[in-house]
Amino acid sequence: DSGVTQTPKHLITATGQRVTLRCSPRSGDLSVYWYQQSLDQGLQFLIQYYNGEERAKGNILERFSAQQFPDLHSELNLSSLELGDSALYFCASSPSGTGFFGTEAFFGQGTRLTVV
């Protein structure tokens, strides 16, 4: 058990809909990362938050947004869903998100999103 909790574990929704994925980081970790994993693209970095502030952005679509709340949990919002958005979405947390060991990431079990 990594200490990172993601909900829901599975999500099936229709095209055009909006969903929210939730992540609770490890106790004490200030940094949260979101990744999308598909068979052909591997783990794609979406976005990173540190202590409530956006710190780094990857290839995140404009239809996607995220935030980190004062209690450090994070949510990833996906809207106007398309078939191609079907993937595993992982949340990871790390102590600080900087430095050699502060970036060591602990992953949740992921949310498997299926868009039909």
Contacts with other proteins, residue ranges (CB under 8 A)? 2, 4, 33, 35, 41-43, 45, 48, 50, 55-56, 58, 90, 92, 94, 97-98, 100-101, 103-110
Residue 62 phi/psi, 5-degree rounding, is -65, -25
CB of 106 to other proteins, least distance (A): 7
> Which residue, 15 or 98, is less far from other proteins as judged by CB?
98
The number of residues in the chain equals 116
> Which residue, 97 or 115, is less far from other proteins as judged by CB?
97
CB of 87 to other proteins, least distance (A): 14
Pairing of strands 31-38, 106-107: unpaired
Instruction: Note if the bond before 8 is cis, omega within 30 degrees.
Output: yes
Residue 83 phi/psi, 5-degree rounding, is -55, -35
Q: Give the H/E segment covering residue 111.
A: strand 111-115
Report the amino acid identity of residue 24: S
> Which residue, 46 or 115, is less far from other proteins as judged by CB?
46
CB of 96 to other proteins, least distance (A): 10
> Which residue, 50 or 64, is less far from other proteins as judged by CB?
50
CB of 25 to other proteins, least distance (A): 13
* CB-facing half-sphere around the CA of 92: CA atoms within 13 A: 21
